[in-house]
Structure 1
Amino acid sequence: MNQNDSLRRPVEAEPQRLGALAVLPVFMGLKGRRAILAGGSAAARWKAEVLAAAGANVDIYAPDPSEEMLALVARGAADGSLTLHRRPWALDAFEGAAVAICDAETDAEAQAFYCAAKAASVPVNVIDNPAFCQFQFGSIVNRSPVVVGISTDGAAPIVGQAVRRRIETLLPPTLSAWGKLAAKVRPRVMERLAMGPPRRAFWERFADLAFGSTPPPDDVDAMIDAAGTATMDGHVTLVGAGPGDAGLMTLKAMRALQACDVILFDDLVSDEVLELARREAKRICVGKRGGRKSCKQEDITAMMIRLAKQGRQVVRLKSGDPMVFGRAGEEIAAVRAAGIGVTVVPGVTSASAMASILQTSLTHRDHAQTLSFTTGHSRHGTLPDGLDVAAIVGEGKTAIIYMGGRTSVALVERACAAGVSADTPAVAMWNVARANQHVWRGRLADLPEAVAQTQNDGPLLIAIGGVFGEEAVDVSTMPDVVQQAIAG
């Protein structure tokens, strides 16, 4: 076969098309504008507070307001104003209103309020009655002026609240102060920094600091001055994408994907990981797979260098961890030799993901004192000649073999010839941490047959050692206090 038959060229990939949206997320400015709210219940009270917090002057129409509503009006709002009218709403209430909210007791009242608002061309929401809503309130993460709204289109409010809690943990409380500072200094940045690299350098540095835990300084003139001399040199960042589950990505990896201009990604990088990237970033597939057409490593390295020399921020996105069987050493050396800065962002390697899925400690002190990560094939596609299998497989050892599908027969033969028991526990896992993951567990002697019979061409990870045995956890060996807690 001609060598070129096994090669392919890098291919630019289009970002995934934006999927259908149940609703259009829109942020409405209500500062100094009038909002009307019909109803005095606890649910209406929350809507009144949200509207006023957004700067609206809220007129509340409620003949018999609840204690919660009375307490809110007495206390006042963070912004805007709250005015209570102890009477039902009427048609004249809609004049000059920016939005209209109603907590209707009956469908007839809901329909009447909805029709009156539409006739007055005022956007309307009837609480907990989607049929009479032109817009909806979502869950809110408040780091104003940074505001995050979350909607489930009314289908699953509890899910929306869970998403809000997750986002709350990611956004530091100090982000609000940084957001206010951004609004304050933006005119100075526009005046003093030219478009392009200087402005981008300033705002990227600003954003990095905003996601820290420290409050902002009183002024940022020094940052503006430093950005004024920035040239935005090209840079290469090697990023570990993990085994496939986007939830296993690190925050630093996601930030790198959001800040880059170009992504060179491997075949094994999942679509859900790529969707975390900045949409404007160019995506180029430089796939390398054993036994398949692959891009030449030297072409990938040369492309990284060319793009970085053009001033691009380049992410080399690799499956798993870039420093584990990822040819990272060759790429780092070449990029450095070209005088280009390089950064490495580690990822979750497949062995760690496999251990977490199996809930097995790879170094359980009762069964393993050594842990080895080994490649299962040489550049010729065979088991490496110099691999001392007896040194990594056997009593007190855990061995993880990457890319060992085609060499599992030779691996087991070499292990058994070295005196390793054929009954040593073994695991084979395809597509670790992905939706199509498949796991086999059994004896070392049965491993080659299991690999041959499994119709799966996904990446394979092989694990051998006593930690994978069913008897690995022996409750009787645990301390008395732990046994007592287990017994109840």
Structure 2
Amino acid sequence: MGELATLPVFFDLKGKRAVMTGGGAGAAWKAELLTATGAAVELYVPREDLGDEMADFLASEPVSGTIIHHDRPWATDIFTGAAIAVGDIESEAEAQAFVCAARAAGVPVNVVDKPAYCDFRFGSIVNRSPVVVGISTDGAAPILGQAIRRRIETLMPPALAGWASLASKVRGEVMDRLAPGPLRRAFWERFSDSAFTTRSPGANAEEDARGFVADLAHSAAAGGRVTLVGAGPGEAELLTLKAVRALQAADVILFDDLVSDDILELARREAKRMLVGKRAARESCRQEDINALMVRFAKAGKHVVRLKSGDVSVFGRAGEELDELRRENIPVAIVPGITAASALAAAFGVSLTHRDRAQQVRFVTGHSKKGGLPEDLEWAALADDHATTIFYMGGRMAAKIADRLIAHGLPADTPVAVAANLSRDDETRAAGTLENLGAIVGRIGVDRPILIGVGRVFTEHAEAAETGAPAAISAAG
């Protein structure tokens, strides 16, 4: 554990006495917070010192707790029996007196916007009660704390509150019937998946949860499942939130060799990681072996994440894996990722379906199962001057792709864009014309993960390349 600026604690104030002074907006917000915890708030301030916000709050009905207004200034007698004291005080002398009186009575105290007089601080709060997240910057950067809160709020759907309440109902049964360790974690991981992917617990949610407890108690294998996760083009920040949650819930991760280390760093530390990459012209795992690994681990009760670069459903052999898992009656889910074509468009700053240049976009594999150029493609249809065509895994076939397209009528000066290692630190981009495609790819290197874009949406990049070399090659950043 590194150094902590403050100790984060969660203070139970339900039914406890909290004393306050101050009638401004800051005091009104603190009074609302304290009553929300169920505290019995007593406010000591003359009526003429009440601001509009505090007056409105006193006239409302708190969601929890109570608030009583005493029409008089605070005095040393108010602290007896109090659990907490809060003051919204302008004067330094009065603030010091308030703090001294509270501390003399053994009551922790906070003076709004005066850190030197605070025994504790109110951080930014994400409220999904009973799940509550507090964020503190130790008073150094409140705006940063608010920005962090907004980021966390995107990770925690409002319906999480209902799931947390349901968790409290089934927790006893989980503790009684499931042994500590893998079984309990299997239950809570599956439960958490529902909490983050469902709007709110349905009518049968409690029954389903208890049924899963019973299944796990009967057989550990009941917890086995597979999630096919798209890792995107490479940059960790391009992962979806759902993909990150899957990685952090995994027992076993079977990953391709195009998956970056930064992405693997986001996975659960205890997860077993196994490289099962498949690359052209390299020795690699057979698809049958990968299928067998998924089945074996899932039947042992493990949550298996099959982590693939790009999007699972685009040239990722997901169909074969889904068929095998369903034959074995293993639960399987898909988490989509950003496909390389989208990353290519972002890298070149273009729209793949610019309405003045392309009325359709096509994703095409650049090589066949045998490693050569696919012979069953409709090359005449692909040679369309009003479409954008993206060739995946086409590096070694680049020259042949260009020859076929030109032979079927696509102009030799059709713009092309080529990228390797998209969204990574060593990303390389180039542009030019179709007749030079083979040479462009050759300069980038055919042994790297290559993506080829063909179409008039890349016109400006091709024209810029022609003013210098046949193709301008640049590294990202």
Range of TM-score over shorter length? 0.7 to 0.9
1:39 match: 22
Q: CA deviation at 1:31?
A: 1.7
**Residue 198 (structure 2) aligned to one of 197, 204, 212:** 212
User: Paired residues, what number?
Assistant: 455
Q: Distance in 1 between matches of 2:2 and 2:400?
A: 47
Deviation at 1:463, TM superposition (A): 0.5
Residue-by-residue CA offset, 1:386-439 (whole Å, 9 max, x unaligned): 777665344233221223345444544554455533321112234434566554
Range moving further from structure 2, 309-318 or 360-369: 360-369
Superposition deviation, residue 315 in structure 1 = 0.8
| Alpha-carbon distance between aligned partners in 2 of 1:271 and 1:440, rounded to the nearest angstrom | 25
Is contact 1:198-1:227 (8 Å) kept?
no
Aligned pairs (5 A) from 1:5-404? 25-63=8-46, 64-86=49-71, 89=74, 93-106=78-91, 122-151=107-136, 153-154=138-139, 157-158=142-143, 160-161=145-146, 164=149, 173-188=158-173, 190-191=175-176, 207=192, 210=195, 211-213=197-199, 216-217=202-203, 220-221=206-207, 223-225=209-211, 227-230=213-216, 231=219, 232-245=222-235, 248-250=238-240, 252-270=242-260, 273-274=263-264, 277-278=267-268, 280-288=270-278, 299-336=289-326, 340-355=330-345, 360-364=350-354, 366-369=356-359, 371-377=361-367, 391-404=381-394
Q: Which residue of 2 aligns with 1:475?
A: none
DSSP-derived class of the 1:236 partner: strand
SS at match of 1:428: strand
Query: 1:124/1:272 Cα in 2 relative to 1: closer, same or farther (>3 Å)?
Result: farther
1:126–1:132: 8 Å Cα contact kept in structure 2?
yes
Q: What's the counterpart of residue 428 of structure 1?
A: 418
- SS in structure 1 opposite 2:26? helix
CA RMSD of aligned residues (A): 4.3
Unaligned runs of 5+ in 1: 1-17, 473-488
CA distance in structure 2 between the aligned counterparts of 1:197 and 1:51, rounded to whole angstroms: 39
How far is 1:351 from its partner? 0.9
| 8 Å Cα contact 1:49-1:72 kept in structure 2 | yes
Asked whether the 8 Å contact 2:187–2:223 carries over to 1, the reply is no
TM-score, normalised by the number of residues in structure 1: 0.74
Cα distance change of structure 1 residues 218 and 361 upon mapping to structure 2, 3 Å threshold: closer
Structure 2 unaligned residues grouped into runs of 5+: 463-477
Give 1:319 shift: 1.2
Query: Does structure 1 retain, via aligned residues, the 8 Å contact 2:311–2:337?
Result: yes
Distance 1:385 1:181, change over 3 A: closer
Q: Percent identity?
A: 57
Q: CA deviation at 1:145?
A: 1.8
> Which residue identity lines up with residue 228 of structure 1 in the other structure?
A
Counterpart code for 1:82: I
Q: Distance in 1 between matches of 2:105 and 2:443?
A: 70
The 8 Å contact of residues 335 and 341 in structure 1, kept in 2 or not, is answered as yes
- Pick closer, same or farther for the CA change 1:346–1:68 going to 2, 3 Å: closer
Is contact 1:193–1:224 with CA below 8 Å preserved after alignment?
no
Which SS does the other structure have where 1:220 is aligned?
helix
- The answer as to whether partners of 1:239 and 1:345 remain within 8 angstroms in 2 is yes
Equivalent pair of 2:40/2:66 in contact (CA under 8 Å): yes
C-alpha change, 1:185 and 1:361, in structure 2 (3 Å) is same
Question: Alignment partner of 1:83: what SS?
Answer: strand
Task: Note closer, same or farther for the CA distance 1:31–1:276 as it changes in structure 2 (3 Å cut).
Answer: farther
